C-alpha cells in the first residue's frame, strides 16, 4: 500500500521534505542547546542563531535532494526560500515566545510545536514558488 502512494512525485517529495525537516530539527536543537545551555545565550537569541543555521542547511538539502532542482538560480531561489522562512520565522517565534513566556511551556516542547505548525506551509510554498520547475526547461 505504501508503494502505491510513494510512486507519486509529490508524496516522495513530501517524505523527503519531512526527512530534511527531521535533520533540520536536529541541527536546530543542537545549535540551540549549544548557544542557550553551553554559552548561556538568552533563549530568543539562541533560537535566532539556531534557526538561521538550520535554514541554510534546509535550503540546500531541499533544493538538490527533495525537489531535484539544479537550475542555476541559486540567489533568486535562496531569496524566495528566505522570504518564505521569514514569514514562518515570525509566526514560529511568536508561538515560541508566547508559549514559553505566557503559557510556561518548556522551551524545547514549545520549539517542537512551532516547528510542526510550519511544515505544510513550508512544503507547498517552496514546491510551488521557490523550486517551481521552469516549464521551458522541463519541455526540453
| Mean per-residue pLDDT of the chain | 90
pLDDT tens sequence across 83-96: 998 888 888 888 89
Closest CA to 92 of 71, 69, 122: 122
* CA separation for the pair 128, 103 (Å, rounded): 35
Mean pLDDT over 57-69 rounds to: 96
pTM reported for the whole predicted model = 0.72
Which residues are CB-neighbours of 85 under 8 A, at least 6 positions away? 55, 122
Amino acid at each position: 500500500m505504501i508503494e502505491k502512494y510513494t510512486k507519486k512525485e509529490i508524496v516522495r517529495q513530501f517524505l523527503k521534505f519531512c526527512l530534511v525537516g527531521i535533520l533540520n530539527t536536529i541541527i536546530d536543537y543542537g545549535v540551540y542547546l549549544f548557544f542557550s545551555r553551553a554559552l548561556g545565550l538568552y533563549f530568543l537569541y539562541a533560537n535566532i542563531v539556531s534557526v538561521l543555521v538550520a535554514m541554510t542547511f534546509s535550503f540546500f538539502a531541499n533544493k538538490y535532494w527533495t525537489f531535484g532542482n539544479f537550475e542555476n538560480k541559486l540567489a533568486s531561489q535562496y531569496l524566495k526560500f528566505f522570504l518564505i522562512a521569514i514569514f514562518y520565522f515570525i509566526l514560529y517565534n511568536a508561538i515560541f515566545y508566547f508559549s514559553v513566556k505566557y503559557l510556561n511551556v518548556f522551551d524545547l516542547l514549545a520549539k517542537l510545536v512551532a516547528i510542526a505548525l510550519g511544515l505544510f506551509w513550508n512544503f507547498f510554498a517552496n514546491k510551488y514558488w521557490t523550486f517551481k520547475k521552469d516549464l521551458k526547461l522541463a519541455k526540453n
